[in-house]
A and B are shown apart, each in its own frame.
Chain A
Amino acid sequence: MITFRMNGLDVKAEEGWSVLETAKFYGLEIPTLCFNEGLTPHGGCRLCLVEIGEGLKTKLVSSCTYPAEEGLVVRTDSKRVWAARRMMIELMLAMAPGSKVLQDMASRFGVTQVRFTSRNKECVLCGLCVRMCAEQMDAKAIGFQKRGLNRKISTPFDMRSEECRLCGACMYICPVCQLRCQGPNAEGVLCNGCLTMDPSCLDHYDDLQCWMYDAGRCGTCVREKT
């Protein structure tokens, strides 16, 4: 058992756990994008950043790849962490503004502007599909190619690969392939539609009495915020 501090709480982790796994075990929420329980951690999206260390010597590390250490001091929601997360969401939105997952995250973390030119690559290079293909499907049909600005995920020679069985697992796991809902600003880089909406049923019924699964989540009873 490894003991360390997380958000001022003494936590115990098993040997080999990452910081993220420990946080999940204790119910502390850390947002993730490129992490999936069935795949090896990649540490590419940088959304699961946490601050480790104390005093002036703190640094940001990706919690999905950082192993739990004895005596570690972790903060999962410090100002610095939030600023870094917002920046990552902003950068990824510029790459793939059509993604519902990213747009939802932007609303959740209060990202209200995108200061980068939109590239519309519709891929944030999170590597989920590559790992899915290699580890779960055992096909190894797609992978990273080229580098820098031209880095992309594709099959060899951009042709139909002999290894590919058209299983569709890459599309299933892709966070960008799910298109965003058509909010008030469907053409823009940033939607933020959820920020201006308010579930109206909450006024009349408590959230427990909403007979949809999750109060306001269904969207049938939302009205614009006044």
Chain B
Amino acid sequence: MDTDKTKIQSLIDNHQGLKKNLIAILLDIQENFNYLSPESLRVVAKALDMPLIDIFGVATFYRAFSLTPRGKHMCLVCMGTACHVRGGPKILEEIERKLDVAPGENTKDGQFTLETVACLGCCAIGPVVVVDGEYHGHATIRKIGPILAKYQKPEAS
């Protein structure tokens, strides 16, 4: 726990402990710990001399932040207009069935977190599935299995 606190403190110090860098600090914590724990928010509040509620408001406002631990791999499915028209909902359904998880939740083994996004800005290659920042364009129901398998057993490949 104490090592976490010093880690968070060093992340805050990286941003000179300035209030205007709150979002950058939270993003760093999110990246390092995979989520924003209540303790980490309290540490940030104390270090930046800001009310906890303001930090909590920012943390709940942006989709990039998560207050519950996320899975190892982040799986984003685009539900934007272009992807929707090209069958995004069906792709999502297939992933939901394959991973047995609802959007916004983690799989039971903690491997995947499934999220929907409104648009990723690459409508030309829709429908798009993004896993760990890697874009998989022109997704079809058939391609879903191999894509997920690639991340499910990284040691085997």
Chain A residues with CB under 8 Å of chain B are 134, 140-147, 155-157, 161, 163
Contacts and interface: CB of A to CB of B under 8 A. Distances in A.
Nearest to A144: B57
B104 to A, nearest CB: 12
B10 interface: no
22 contacts: A134-B51, A140-B53, A140-B54, A142-B53, A143-B51, A143-B54, A143-B56, A143-B57, A144-B57, A145-B56, A145-B57, A145-B61, A146-B60, A146-B61, A147-B60, A155-B53, A156-B41, A156-B52, A156-B53, A156-B56, A161-B52, A161-B53
Contacts of A156: 38, 41, 52-53, 56
Interface string B55-67: 0110011000000
Chain B CB within 10 Å — which of A140, A144, A156, A157 has the most?
A: A156
Interface residues of B, number: 10
A108 B53 CA distance: 37
A163 B60 contact: no
A161 B61 CA distance: 20
A163 B56 contact: no
A95 B51 CA distance: 28
Contacts of A142: 53
Interface of A is mostly: loop
Nearest to A140: B51
A163 B52 CA distance: 9
A202 to B, nearest CB: 50
Chain A CB within 10 Å — which of B38, B56, B61 has the most?
A: B56
A145 B54 contact: no
B60 A145 contact: yes
A147 B52 CA distance: 18
Contact of B38 (A143, A157, A161): A157
A156 B39 CA distance: 12
Interface in B103-121: none
Contacts of B41: 156
A161 B38 CA distance: 13
- Those 10 A-B pairs whose CB atoms lie nearest each other, nearest first: A140-B51, A143-B53, A156-B56, A146-B60, A145-B60, A156-B52, A143-B57, A147-B61, A156-B53, A144-B57
Contacts of A145: 56-57, 60-61
A140 to B, nearest CB: 4
A153 B17 CA distance: 27
B28 to A, nearest CB: 20
A144 B58 CA distance: 9
Contacts of B54: 140, 143
B56 A141 contact: no
Given A143-B57, A146-B60, 14 more contacts: A140-B51, A140-B53, A140-B54, A143-B53, A145-B61, A146-B61, A147-B60, A156-B38, A156-B52, A157-B38, A157-B56, A163-B51, A163-B52, A163-B53
Contacts of A163: 51-53
A157 B60 CA distance: 10
Given A156-B41, A157-B38, A141 B53 contact: yes
A147 B54 CA distance: 14
Interface string B23-55: 000000000000000100100000000011110
A69 to B, nearest CB: 31
B69 to A, nearest CB: 15
Nearest to B51: A140
